[in-house]
Amino acid sequence: MEIIFKILLLGLLALQCHAAVTKEFRNQVLAARDKCKKEHKISDEALNEWVKNSKLPDGEAGKCYLACYMKEIGYMENGKLDYAQFEESNAKKWTDKEMLSKANAVDRTCVQDVKTEGKDDCTIAAEFVACKMREVKKIGLKLSRIPQSDPKPK
């Protein structure tokens, strides 16, 4: 399935397999995505291409988009990764305790593994997302997309 970095990359993903993304978190994700996309002049086409190819964005603008998104959600502040915020967000995405534990383990590993000292926010974000991509594959988390807007009434 898709890779966890898409949550960070687009703010469009939520964890599947017993996932229950809260409306509040979904709205926060969409607002962060839109703000950072505009701030870093990232086109919808570029975002879609990153998702389609399941890869990290190329160039400084793409990496800085990731940093912007992580700061907006609260995952990073002043060049430091905030594991407690990842854990809080995971609780808004997972209802299954086993999957929540796996998601927290991925974030804990990457917060510990990514060295932040002397690095700019864009580099930190890119390294963190690369770590998550590796760890998600190892642990077997599955992802699905968060709708980009509220569902239309039938």
Read off the CATH number of the domain in which 106 is found. 1.10.238.20
Over residues 20-52, the pLDDT tens digits come to: 678 888 899 899 999 999 999 998 888 887 777
Identify the pLDDT of residue 15: 35
Considering the domain boundaries, does residue 128 fall inside one? yes
Identify the pLDDT of residue 143: 56
- Would you say 122 and 61 are in contact if contact means Cβ atoms under 8 Å apart? no
Q: Which domain holds residue 120?
A: 5-145
Considering the domain boundaries, does residue 151 fall inside one? no
Do you know the residue count of the chain? Answer: 154
Considering the domain boundaries, does residue 112 fall inside one? yes
Identify the pLDDT of residue 50: 78
Considering the domain boundaries, does residue 152 fall inside one? no
| Stated pTM of the model | 0.79
The domain total for the chain is 1
Considering the domain boundaries, does residue 154 fall inside one? no
Identify the pLDDT of residue 137: 85
Considering the domain boundaries, does residue 153 fall inside one? no
Considering the domain boundaries, does residue 150 fall inside one? no
Positions in the chain whose pLDDT score sits under 50: 1-18, 144-154
Mapping DSSP onto H, E and C, the string for the chain reads: CCCCHHHHHHCCEEECCCECCCHHHHHHHHHHHHHHHHHCCCCHHHHHHHHHHCCCCCHHHHHHHHHHHHHHHCCEECCEECHHHHHHHHHHHECCHHHHHHHHHHHHHHHHHCCCCCCCHHHHHHHHHHHHHHHHHHHCCCEEECCCCCCCCC
Q: Return d(Cα 20, Cα 153) in angstroms, integer.
A: 20
Considering the domain boundaries, does residue 75 fall inside one? yes
